[in-house]
Amino acid sequence: MADKQRKSQGSTGTLGFLGISPYEEKQGEEYMNEEQVEHFRQILLAWKRELMEEVDRTLHHMQDEAANFPDPNDRATQESEFTIELRTRDRERKLIKKIDESLALIESGDYGYCEQCGEPIGIRRLEARPTATLCIECKTLDEIREKHRAG
């Protein structure tokens, strides 16, 4: 079922996957007001909950499916599948850490502001990437610097 939800995300990205509607900005409202902060808190908590459920499903799947196949090819296939699942869960574990960091930023009142320049990151960017810590301009500069260092 989660796979079907992921495929149907469409243009709403993370929000569609979590079943949360995009925030409707009101003319003249203050950036990161209580309503916006609560909107992002709900997004982050729902996302974390979904990831934690996926971890539980993987654990149960691996326990239920673990078998000592007599055929070496079957064993190798199962080990490959488990390795891929564990790699995916490791990425999700890192994402959960980022979500927790974003929730801490909400608590401190710093969520939604660029950690480099202090400017607002923007509602739409945060909805697309709720764990973003850089505004689009600083992120672009960061990627250019990284590209030059690597190249």
Proportion of the chain above pLDDT 90, given as a percent: 59
Topology of domain 30-150, CATH: Four Helix Bundle (Hemerythrin (Met), subunit A) (1.20.120)
The C-alpha R_g of the chain, in whole angstroms, comes to 19
This prediction has a pTM of: 0.77
DSSP 23-91: P---TTPPTT-HHHHHHHHHHHHHHHHHHHHHHHHHHHHHHHH----SSHHHHHHHHHHHHHHHHHHHH
- Whole-number average pLDDT of the chain: 86
Sequence spans of domains, the chain: 30-150
- The pLDDT tens digits for 32-80 are 999 999 999 999 999 999 999 988 888 777 777 777 777 888 888 888 8
- The pLDDT tens digits for 94-119 are 999 999 999 999 999 999 999 999 99
